[in-house]
Copies of this chain bind each other. A is one copy, B any other.
Protein backbone atom coordinates (compact mmCIF):
# COMPACT_ATOMS: atom_id res chain seq x y z
CA UNK A 1 0.00 0.00 0.00
CA UNK A 2 2.68 2.43 1.05
CA UNK A 3 4.98 1.12 -1.67
CA UNK A 4 2.40 1.81 -4.34
CA UNK A 5 1.88 5.33 -3.05
CA UNK A 6 5.61 5.97 -3.08
CA UNK A 7 6.05 4.56 -6.57
CA UNK A 8 3.21 6.77 -7.74
CA UNK A 9 4.80 9.91 -6.41
CA UNK A 10 8.24 9.00 -7.75
CA UNK A 11 6.63 8.25 -11.11
CA UNK A 12 5.98 11.95 -11.29
CA UNK A 13 9.53 13.00 -10.47
CA UNK A 14 12.47 12.07 -8.23
CA UNK A 15 12.17 13.18 -4.63
CA UNK A 16 13.82 12.82 -1.26
CA UNK A 17 12.21 11.16 1.73
CA UNK A 18 11.14 14.22 3.61
CA UNK A 19 9.29 15.68 0.66
CA UNK A 20 7.78 12.30 -0.14
CA UNK A 21 6.32 12.15 3.32
CA UNK A 22 4.58 15.49 2.96
CA UNK A 23 3.12 14.61 -0.41
CA UNK A 24 1.99 11.23 0.83
CA UNK A 25 -0.85 12.36 3.10
CA UNK A 26 -3.34 13.39 0.39
CA UNK A 27 -2.62 10.17 -1.51
CA UNK A 28 -3.35 8.00 1.50
CA UNK A 29 -6.88 9.36 1.66
CA UNK A 30 -7.12 9.92 5.39
CA UNK A 31 -5.32 13.01 6.62
CA UNK A 32 -2.69 11.20 8.59
CA UNK A 33 0.99 11.42 7.72
CA UNK A 34 3.09 8.30 7.41
CA UNK A 35 5.89 7.89 9.93
CA UNK A 36 9.58 7.83 9.02
CA UNK A 37 9.78 4.46 10.64
CA UNK A 38 7.61 3.20 7.79
CA UNK A 39 8.88 5.40 5.04
CA UNK A 40 12.60 4.75 5.05
CA UNK A 41 12.49 0.97 5.46
CA UNK A 42 9.94 0.91 2.68
CA UNK A 43 12.20 2.94 0.40
CA UNK A 44 15.06 0.59 1.15
CA UNK A 45 12.97 -2.45 0.27
CA UNK A 46 11.89 -0.81 -2.98
CA UNK A 47 15.57 -0.23 -3.77
CA UNK A 48 16.38 -3.85 -2.98
CA UNK A 49 13.69 -4.98 -5.38
CA UNK A 50 15.27 -2.82 -8.07
CA UNK A 51 12.37 -0.42 -8.49
CA UNK A 52 13.99 2.61 -7.00
CA UNK A 53 17.46 4.04 -7.45
CA UNK A 54 19.03 5.69 -4.42
CA UNK A 55 21.06 8.78 -5.14
CA UNK A 56 23.07 9.83 -2.11
CA UNK A 57 24.06 13.09 -3.81
CA UNK A 58 27.70 12.98 -2.70
CA UNK A 59 29.11 15.83 -0.65
CA UNK A 60 28.33 18.96 -2.62
CA UNK A 61 31.36 21.24 -2.89
CA UNK A 62 31.98 22.65 0.56
CA UNK A 63 29.67 20.25 2.38
CA UNK A 64 31.18 17.70 4.69
CA UNK A 65 28.38 15.18 4.48
CA UNK A 66 25.31 14.37 2.46
CA UNK A 67 22.09 15.79 3.78
CA UNK A 68 19.58 14.68 1.26
CA UNK A 69 19.09 11.37 -0.43
CA UNK A 70 17.16 11.47 -3.65
CA UNK A 71 15.04 8.53 -4.70
CA UNK A 72 14.28 7.92 -8.33
CA UNK A 73 12.15 5.38 -10.17
CA UNK A 74 14.05 2.88 -12.32
CA UNK A 75 12.53 1.77 -15.65
CA UNK A 76 11.64 -1.53 -13.95
CA UNK A 77 9.95 0.42 -11.17
CA UNK A 78 7.95 2.49 -13.62
CA UNK A 79 6.91 -0.67 -15.41
CA UNK A 80 5.91 -2.36 -12.16
CA UNK A 81 3.88 0.64 -11.08
CA UNK A 82 1.86 0.72 -14.31
CA UNK A 83 1.19 -2.97 -14.10
CA UNK A 84 0.20 -2.96 -10.44
CA UNK A 85 -2.21 -0.15 -11.11
CA UNK A 86 -3.64 -1.41 -14.38
CA UNK A 87 -4.03 -5.02 -13.36
CA UNK A 88 -5.31 -4.05 -9.92
CA UNK A 89 -7.02 -7.04 -8.29
CA UNK A 90 -9.41 -7.51 -5.36
CA UNK A 91 -7.26 -5.83 -2.76
CA UNK A 92 -7.61 -2.56 -4.66
CA UNK A 93 -11.20 -2.54 -3.42
CA UNK A 94 -10.22 -2.61 0.25
CA UNK A 95 -10.26 0.42 2.52
CA UNK A 96 -6.60 1.19 2.88
CA UNK A 97 -5.56 0.43 -0.65
CA UNK A 98 -8.42 1.93 -2.57
CA UNK A 99 -7.49 5.53 -1.81
CA UNK A 100 -4.02 4.96 -3.22
CA UNK A 101 -5.31 3.37 -6.40
CA UNK A 102 -7.82 6.17 -6.70
CA UNK A 103 -5.22 8.90 -6.43
CA UNK A 104 -3.41 7.56 -9.48
CA UNK A 105 -6.45 6.80 -11.61
CA UNK A 106 -5.39 9.48 -14.09
CA UNK A 107 -2.36 7.44 -15.13
CA UNK A 108 -4.26 4.41 -16.30
CA UNK A 109 -6.50 3.62 -19.31
CA UNK A 110 -10.20 4.29 -18.84
CA UNK A 111 -11.00 0.60 -18.92
CA UNK A 112 -8.83 -0.07 -15.85
CA UNK A 113 -10.22 3.03 -14.22
CA UNK A 114 -13.74 1.70 -14.53
CA UNK A 115 -12.71 -1.71 -13.27
CA UNK A 116 -11.25 -0.21 -10.09
CA UNK A 117 -14.19 2.10 -9.40
CA UNK A 118 -16.74 -0.64 -10.05
CA UNK A 119 -14.79 -3.15 -7.99
CA UNK A 120 -14.80 -0.82 -5.04
CA UNK A 121 -18.49 -0.16 -5.44
CA UNK A 122 -19.26 -3.88 -5.54
CA UNK A 123 -17.20 -4.39 -2.40
CA UNK A 124 -19.13 -1.70 -0.56
CA UNK A 125 -22.44 -3.11 -1.71
CA UNK A 126 -21.52 -6.50 -0.35
CA UNK A 127 -20.85 -4.90 3.00
CA UNK A 128 -24.14 -3.08 2.90
CA UNK A 129 -25.97 -6.31 2.23
CA UNK A 130 -24.25 -7.97 5.15
CA UNK A 131 -24.87 -5.01 7.43
CA UNK A 132 -28.56 -4.81 6.53
CA UNK A 133 -29.12 -8.50 7.18
CA UNK A 134 -30.61 -8.67 10.68
CA UNK A 135 -29.28 -12.24 11.08
CA UNK A 136 -25.77 -10.84 10.94
CA UNK A 137 -25.93 -8.90 14.21
CA UNK A 138 -28.05 -10.63 16.82
CA UNK A 139 -28.75 -9.22 20.28
CA UNK A 140 -30.66 -6.18 21.34
CA UNK A 141 -30.10 -2.79 19.84
CA UNK A 142 -28.59 -0.45 22.38
CA UNK A 143 -29.23 3.17 21.35
CA UNK A 144 -25.58 3.94 20.73
CA UNK A 145 -24.75 0.74 18.94
CA UNK A 146 -27.76 1.29 16.72
CA UNK A 147 -26.75 4.89 16.05
CA UNK A 148 -23.22 3.80 15.17
CA UNK A 149 -24.56 1.21 12.80
CA UNK A 150 -26.90 3.72 11.19
CA UNK A 151 -24.12 6.22 10.65
CA UNK A 152 -21.78 3.62 9.20
CA UNK A 153 -24.52 2.53 6.80
CA UNK A 154 -25.18 6.07 5.68
CA UNK A 155 -21.52 6.83 5.13
CA UNK A 156 -21.12 3.74 3.04
CA UNK A 157 -24.23 4.50 1.01
CA UNK A 158 -22.84 7.95 0.41
CA UNK A 159 -19.57 6.55 -0.87
CA UNK A 160 -21.50 4.27 -3.22
CA UNK A 161 -23.36 7.24 -4.68
CA UNK A 162 -20.10 9.11 -5.06
CA UNK A 163 -18.58 6.20 -6.98
CA UNK A 164 -21.67 5.90 -9.14
CA UNK A 165 -21.34 9.53 -10.14
CA UNK A 166 -17.71 9.06 -11.09
CA UNK A 167 -18.40 5.85 -13.00
CA UNK A 168 -21.16 7.46 -15.01
CA UNK A 169 -18.88 10.40 -15.74
CA UNK A 170 -16.26 8.00 -17.05
CA UNK A 171 -18.71 6.21 -19.27
CA UNK A 172 -20.10 9.22 -21.08
CA UNK A 173 -16.93 11.27 -21.47
CA UNK A 174 -14.38 9.97 -23.93
CA UNK A 175 -11.23 9.41 -21.91
CA UNK A 176 -11.99 12.30 -19.60
CA UNK A 177 -9.10 12.50 -17.16
Contacts and interface: CB of A to CB of B under 8 A. Distances in A.
A49 interface: no
Interface string A16-35: 00000011011101110000
A145 B27 contact: yes
Consensus secondary structure, chain A interface: helix
**Which of A27, A145, A166 gathers the greatest number of chain B CB atoms within 10 Å?**
A145
Copies of this protein in the assembly total 2
B152 A155 contact: no
A23 to B, nearest CB: 6
Chain A, interface size category, equals 35 or more
Interface in A132-177: 136-139, 142-145, 147-149, 151-152, 155-156, 158-159, 162, 166, 177
**Which of A25, A27, A31, A131 gathers the greatest number of chain B CB atoms within 10 Å?**
A31
A46 interface: no
Interface in A93-138: 95, 99, 102-106, 127, 130-131, 136-138
Contact of A103 (B23, B103, B144, B156): B144
Interface of A: 22-23, 25-27, 29-31, 95, 99, 102-106, 127, 130-131, 136-139, 142-145, 147-149, 151-152, 155-156, 158-159, 162, 166, 177
24 contacts: A22-B136, A22-B138, A23-B138, A23-B139, A25-B136, A25-B137, A26-B137, A26-B149, A27-B145, A29-B152, A30-B95, A30-B152, A31-B152, A31-B156, A102-B147, A103-B142, A103-B145, A103-B148, A104-B144, A105-B144, A106-B142, A155-B155, A155-B158, A155-B159
